Amino acid sequence: MPPPVVLAVCLGNICRSPTAEAALNEAARAIELAIVVRSAGTGSWHVGHPPDPRMREAAAAQGLVLGGTADQVDAEALAESHLVLAMDRSNLDDLRRLAARARVETDIRLFREFDPEAGSDLDVPDPYYGGEQGFIEVVQIVRRTSRRVVELIAAGDLARPG
């Protein structure tokens, strides 16, 4: 059976979702779980660009290396994924509309549904227009949530292939 494919999605694919991609891969490696992780944005503004330098710096300071370049989500990416994780409600709405138009039935969820510390706020805050602390906070949120997502995948409770 092929490994599950997880797609993390934010607005521009330069802050939150590439951090989630790196953190999900890190969490999967830690428990030797085979998964394929990708990230994309709902918008096209940053396609082909690397993650935001402020995000890379905040992640690196916490031992997480971000790589790759921004991509825009499309129906094919949704169809190829077993689990799509939206960083906020706006992304979730956009993804669900895209899936409905394309008749794709992939499981699309809010990433922070799995955050043990989320409380009632299920949006990963977008740090793009804020200061350094916002980027640091995103790394912390994404790492702890990624550990939980990977645990659930390993237990067979999420992202079941085929």
Half-sphere exposure of 159 (CA within 13 A, CB side): 30
Which 3 state secondary structure label does DSSP give 87?
coil
- Geometric angle at alpha carbon 135, from 129 and 139, rounded to 5°: 145
Give the catalytic positions in this structure.
Answer: 10, 16, 126
Instruction: Determine how many CB atoms are found less than 10 A away from the CB of residue 6.
Output: 27
Q: Helix, strand, coil proportions of the chain in percent (round to 5)?
A: 45, 15, 45
Burial of 81 (0-12, 13-18, 19+ CB in 10 A): buried
